[in-house]
Amino acid sequence: MLYEPFYNPEISYDHNFEKGPFGAFADGEVATDEGEPQYDFFGYKVYSPFGIPAGPLINGKFVQGALDKGFDIATYKTVRSSEYPCHPHPNVLSVNVEGDLTLEIADKGLIADNNYHEPLSITNSFGVPSQAPTFWQADLKNILANVRKGQIVIGAFQGTKKEGGSVEEYINDYIICARMLKEIGVKVMEVNFSCPNEGTNNLLCFDVERSSLIAQAIKSEIGNTPLIVKVAYYKDEQMFRNFVKEVGSIVDGISTINTIAAEVRDIKGNQALPGEGRLRSGVCGHSIKWAGLEMVKRLSDLRAEFGYKFTIIGVGGVTTPSDYLEYRNIGADVVMSATGAMWNPHLAKEVKKLLKI
């Protein structure tokens, strides 16, 4: 069943930011847990290893809504060291996919519309917008001060390429962001290596050498604060192996996946999302679960082979409690849901019922 989404795709990002969240996230009801939290998350106890990844929780009101509904690990949407605009509306559309969105199907392109239906898959195109640090530091600090027992908020961030800037300046921008998060008391951080045009090979996570340099620079800045790195789906097995070998020894957690990219058009064959560079867009939801599960399995195998201890966070296509179990059974230490949670604000409660929490 699809409920009213807490992010309304029919209105602009700015309107959502100002008026949201919507649906059950705004009803004021707070889920409660009995007893003591039992699950470990980087040394912090949470009631459930289930949450919402970077993306949907666009400000403190959305994060609070997630915490209130029992999502015990909530990720504040990716921030930057300076204000950064959002892509034009629309930013979210339903995509028509039968079964799995394999790479072969993605290469052929998809049709998008406003008919959201189960099994739910969407395309989202925001461009990783960010408010100015003066806003997000105060907003996030306020949420951190009110987190209840058994819950935690992750601060997500990424660097920004400046036109004509050097590699050193680019890496330093990550350090600046991490420093800003640490200043306000963020206990766990996630750095985004999975979005386009931030590395020499399209995605930063596909540039193993630079990913390693940036991860090392961030860890040098934040010390013992746990660092998660968010990655995309790797078609190239050797590249992924190299990434895990190099970066897995530096970071404390790896989160996978983000989306699978595809050309997205409307029923008439026109580009569905307006603006330059938006014909190709990330797809998430039910149809990419296969890829998320595959990546978690690969991560689990490589972690064991290399003798590493990083936490594995499984993301992609989690829309039901059984999806949560699939991820846990295949090797995920933590599971997160974005699209599924957006249209089902009661998903955390359903997972806890399954776990008898």
Query: Catalytic residues, which ones?
Result: 195
With H, G, I as helix, E, B as strand and everything else as coil, classify residue 144: helix
Strands 202-203 and 121-124: unpaired
With H, G, I as helix, E, B as strand and everything else as coil, classify residue 351: helix
Give the whole-angstrom CA distance, residue 212 versus residue 222: 15
With H, G, I as helix, E, B as strand and everything else as coil, classify residue 271: strand
**φ/ψ of residue 279, rounded to 5:** -65, -40
Q: How many other β-carbons are positioned within 10 Å of the β-carbon of residue 34?
A: 6
Tell me if 256 sits within 8 A of 193, measured CB to CB: no
DSSP codes joined into one string, 184-248:
TT-SEEEEE--SEEEETTEEGGG-HHHHHHHHHHHHHHHTTS-EEEEE---S-HHHHHHHHHHHT
Give the whole-angstrom CA distance, residue 133 versus residue 104: 41
For 149-185, b/e burial (b = at least 16 CB within 10 A) is ebbbbbbbbbbbeeeeeeeeebbbbbbbbbebbbebe
Give the whole-angstrom CA distance, residue 315 versus residue 121: 14
Alpha helices in the chain (DSSP H): 13-19, 60-68, 103-108, 133-144, 167-183, 208-222, 237-247, 289-306, 321-330, 339-343, 347-355
Which among 341, 55, 188 is positioned nearest to 351, based on CA atoms? 341
Give the whole-angstrom CA distance, residue 301 versus residue 145: 38
* Residue 205, CB-side half-sphere exposure with 13 Å CA sphere: 25
Alpha helices in 254-320 (DSSP H): 289-306
